[in-house]
Amino acid sequence: MKSAQSGFEERLLPILVEDLRERQSSSTARPRSQGHRGRWTAALAAAAVVVVVGLVTSSGPEDAPLTFVVTSGAMTPTLAVGQHVAVDPSAYRSAAPARGDIIAFTIPAYPGLVAMKRVVGVAGDTVEERSGNVFVNGRALDEPYASLDTYSGGPWVVMPGSVFVMGDNRPDSNDSRYSMGQIPITDILGEVLLGVTPEDAPQPPPPPVVTQSP
């Protein structure tokens, strides 16, 4: 308290109050947390598809992990075909996806499919691949998790509200380098929880949901 009576905190306060006033005048009826809602719409749409197909029983309370079975080899060696994985739908409620995260997301062009890829770039980053080596903002990534290819492409600038994803199995992955493009954050279902086995997750055994990357 004493320290708040002088110093930079006092100079910061009017700036914050100004922002607050601006919010009050411009957004008296702003819906809460639009991004969150967008993700839930996507999650519900995906859940609806699986329910229709009859492969999943009710998906439970809002924070329950979503469970999937990997059917594509695009994320090997990190995710093996046939592996059950849990996806945390609350992971990005207040945090943005970060580089290195593995995310599950829907692809509007392939209704009902859920893809899983690694976030390589976030909004504002410049991503480039040179002979299989990936550079983000000019810095080479050390990627012990990936099996690399020899591709060269980019540079791509990651758009606001999007992430740039790649499969860990570079030679055999359709991802942001190709037709899949950058992934809008609103299409993200959640973070893939690595190392979550059925013993870790207090969940019934994962239902046999079939998902696949195109």
Partner 1 sequence: VSQRDDEQLLVDARRDTDAFEAFYRRHVATVIRFAARRSTSPDEVVDLVAAVWLEVVASIDRFDPKRGKAVPWILGIGANLCASDARRRAREREAANRLTGQRVLEEDEYARLERELDAAAVAPQILEAFEQLPPSERAIAELTLVDGLSPTEASAALGIRPSAARMRLARAKRKLHATIDWPELTQEVSP
| Rg, C-alpha atoms of the chain | 20
Residue with tokens 């030679």: 171
Which of 113, 121 has the CB closer to partner 1? Answer: 121
* Region from 51-59, 123-131, 143-151, 177-185 binding partner 1, contact rule CB under 8 A: 123-131
Supply the minimum distance, in Å, between the C-beta of residue 28 and partner 1: 9
Q: Using the 8-state DSSP alphabet, how is residue 150 labeled?
A: -
The Cα angle at residue 160 between residues 158 and 163, in degrees rounded to 5: 50
Residues 75/118, Cβ–Cβ less than 8 Å: yes
Q: Which of 26, 32, 54, 139 binds partner 1 (CB under 8 A)?
A: 32
Q: CA-to-CA distance for 110 and 130, rounded, in angstroms?
A: 29
What whole-number distance in Å separates Cα of residue 16 and Cα of residue 128?
38
Q: Determine the residue type at 79.
A: L
Pick from 194, 193, 186, 185: nearest CA to 97: 185
Q: Pick the stretch among 30-38, 142-150, 165-173, 204-212 that binds partner 1 (CB under 8 A).
A: 30-38
The distance of closest approach from Cβ of residue 153 to partner 1 in the complex, given in angstroms and rounded to an integer, is 22
Residue 51 near partner 1 by CB under 8 A: no
Nearer to partner 1, 179 or 199 (CB): 199
Which residues in the 137-166 window bind partner 1 by CB under 8 A? none
Residues 60-119 binding partner 1 (CB under 8 A) are 63, 65, 88, 90-91, 93-96, 98-101
Q: Which residues contact 202 (CB under 8 A, 6 or more apart)?
A: none
Q: Which amino acid is at 115?
A: A
- Structure tokens of 115? 């893809």
**Minimum distance from residue 33 beta carbon to partner 1 (Å):** 5
Residues lying near partner 1 in the complex (CB under 8 A):
1, 3-4, 6-9, 11-13, 15-17, 19-21, 23-24, 27, 30, 32-33, 63, 65, 88, 90-91, 93-96, 98-101, 122-125, 191, 193, 195-196, 200-202
